Structure 1
Amino acid sequence: MINVGFYYRVKKGHEKEFEQTFSSVLEYLKSSYPGFRDAKLYRSVTDPQEYLIYSEWDDLDTFRKFISSQAYRDTTSYGKNILEGRPTHRVLQLVE
């Protein structure tokens, strides 16, 4: 299993829209994307425009397939309207 942290800064006034979009994408991934396990949305306590999506995937290949999918491209294209700057992500794996 791997975890991926997506870091976003949302334009002021678009916070609820971002949260609702996250919920829609989460439902899509759960119902339509094998290898996706779950995700949680976190909001900064000091800056309400900063968010983290912490996601769980079966493996790195599954995640890579997702980020090369049309669904991912559509979501990132839409995000350009409500995000400040470019989001970043980090892939993490449990060390045993």
Structure 2
Amino acid sequence: MSADMSPAEPEGTGRVVFLIRVPEDRQAAFLRAYEEIRHLVADGVPGHLRDQVCRSADDPEQWLITSEWDRLEAFRAWEATAEHRDLVRPMRECFTEARSLKFTVVAETAKGERS
């Protein structure tokens, strides 16, 4: 680990990853539910920066939702609210499996960036 990548608790942006399974017969409902809430979250939830919904190229029932937050605590605060549970309920009803992972970004590299 380089000197600038300390193992101490970082204060960078937060990344939340949901690995989910959505049966083919529920995928249209899942995408409709995502469409219904995506701008509400993007425009109205403090700390939210962006999100993506992705479908596996190898398994059509495996999906990935990622979201980026100005800090992980912003997501945790929103996740604890009844508003969050109510808003995402239509999406969650389409899942047969779900796993949530939360990370703090400690380093990032973009094309053309050199320190």
State TM-score, norm by structure 2: 0.73
Aligned residue number for residue 14 of structure 2: 2
Aligned residue number for residue 20 of structure 1: 32
Aligned residue number for residue 57 of structure 1: 69
Ranges in structure 2 where 5+ consecutive residues have no aligned partner: 1-12, 108-115
Ranges in structure 1 where 5+ consecutive residues have no aligned partner: none
Return the match for 2:59 from 47, 50, 59. 47
Report the count of equivalent residues: 95
Q: Do the aligned partners of residues 31 and 95 (structure 1) sit closer, same or farther apart at CA in structure 2, a change above 3 Å counting?
A: closer
Provide Cα deviations, 1:46-76, integer angstroms capped at 9, x if missing partner: 1111110110001121111111111221245
Identical columns (%):
24
Q: CA RMSD in A?
A: 1.6
- 8 A contact 2:72–2:103 mirrored in 1: no
* Residue 100 (structure 2) pairs with residue 89 (structure 1): yes
* Residue 82 (structure 2) pairs with residue 70 (structure 1): yes
Counterpart-to-counterpart distance in 2, 1:62 and 1:83? 24
Counterpart-to-counterpart distance in 2, 1:94 and 1:81? 30
Cα drift, residue 14 of structure 1: 1.0
